[in-house]
Structure 1
Amino acid sequence: MSREHRSSALGELLAIAASVLDATGPAPAATVTCLPHERFLPAITLTPASLWMSVEEQFALPRLVAERMGWPLQPLSTADGYASTGTLEGVRVQALAAPLPSTSRTPLARGKVTTAEHADPLRALVDWAASLPTAVTGLEVREDLDGAGQLTARLIVPRGFDVSPLNEVIMPVPADDWSGLRGAGILPTGHALTISEGR
């Protein structure tokens, strides 16, 4: 598969994910993960931004997606949770939530980011995503409820990936075999970015 096709796929997924957020919002804080090379799982997943959000908020995400996208809502077979899966522009999208068992930690409150403010940067990154090396396997954009309530992003690369082509946007760091962290920087949208080995 050519670089042009592989790299443009991530940008297309970001645009589709933004459309789902637009249709679903206002919705609970979410993590959007786009995996252009995934063959078995949905290419786009929406999950609660933190497992420490209230159970009600976490369950609300797949329920809202199901209701507003017209997709089925089904219980998970391997955990206490729900998933809503459908197709938009030929791409499989899934929203799911599987909250942790009850905990004594106070549920996290949402910061200042709205659903629309989550969707807008996804669209703004479409052209940037098209310029990425073909080896990049995904991008995760999350509302950071543990921080200042802003969006943060994680670029997912395979083990042993050479980060030097990304030096314009990241500061390389020594490979950390424990965390998989490979670099940190700033997205063109101004949001914090980390690069780590993953899928």
Structure 2
Amino acid sequence: MTALHAEHLAAAALVLERAGELPPLLIWADLAPPVGPAVTIGISINVAPERQRDAVDQVAAAFGVPADAFGDRGRICEPTAGGTPVAVYADPLPPVERRPRAPGATTAAHAALLRDLGDWAADLPETVERVTVEERGEGLHIDVTVAAAGLAAALSSHAIVIDDRSVSWSGLRGAGVAPTGHELTVSTRPGRA
């Protein structure tokens, strides 16, 4: 078991709480990130590019850190929250379909979910490589990405529906409900099944 996921989710919650209302987000916490901080907060691609960049500037201002250029069009800042480094970035793509925000899917609700998942995340086995909490059109969603060796245990512990079909393009292996009542998927990283 590892408490790192709980610490990472608490750090992300702190960023959201200090920054105030932000557009829809994608938050992931990695046990062993390939590069950069273990906690990353991305702004949804369904948000207009200028609003994505403004959101990064808003977080930077809340933490008193600089926001820098990221790639050709993006912005990035790297605050420290509760002693944990966090990367907040926007990397706007060409315009995509803009979807309305789900009712009740606010930044405060996202932060509350991250905090509510703390005890559950602290009990996740070390085979869980990443916990992702994102806002989708229907609301907040959780994905647990596990090492292939830990897949059976993760499915039996955290998924209601086990999908035995080979879906290597996405890595999806099962779906269920988290202790908070939110939709949960269990995946392996594509190509690592």
RMSD of aligned Cα (Å)? 1.8
What CA distance in whole angstroms lies between the structure 1 residues aligned with 2:29 and 2:49?
24
What CA distance in whole angstroms lies between the structure 2 residues aligned with 1:189 and 1:117?
12
CA contact (8 A) 1:169 1:186 kept: yes
What CA distance in whole angstroms lies between the structure 2 residues aligned with 1:109 and 1:58?
15
Query: For 1:179-190, what aligned pairs fall within 5 Å after superposition?
Result: 179-190=170-181
Match of 1:75 among 69, 72, 77: 69
1:44 matched to which residue of 2? 39
Measured after TM superposition, the shift of residue 40 of structure 1 is 2.6
What CA distance in whole angstroms lies between the structure 2 residues aligned with 1:42 and 1:164?
27
Query: For 1:103-118, what aligned pairs fall within 5 Å after superposition?
Result: 103=95, 105-112=96-103, 113-118=105-110
Unmatched segments (≥5 aa) in structure 2: none
What CA distance in whole angstroms lies between the structure 2 residues aligned with 1:180 and 1:79?
30
How many aligned residue pairs are there? 187
What CA distance in whole angstroms lies between the structure 1 residues aligned with 2:189 and 2:145?
6
What CA distance in whole angstroms lies between the structure 2 residues aligned with 1:120 and 1:126?
10
2:127 matched to which residue of 1? 135
Unmatched segments (≥5 aa) in structure 1: none
What CA distance in whole angstroms lies between the structure 2 residues aligned with 1:117 and 1:152?
12
Render the CA deviation track for 1:18-40: whole Å, top value 9, x for unaligned: 11110011111111111122263
Provide closer, same or farther for how the CA distance between residues 55 and 165 of structure 1 changes in structure 2, counting only shifts above 3 A: closer
Q: Name the % identity.
A: 33
What CA distance in whole angstroms lies between the structure 2 residues aligned with 1:156 and 1:32?
13
TM-score, scaled to structure 1: 0.86
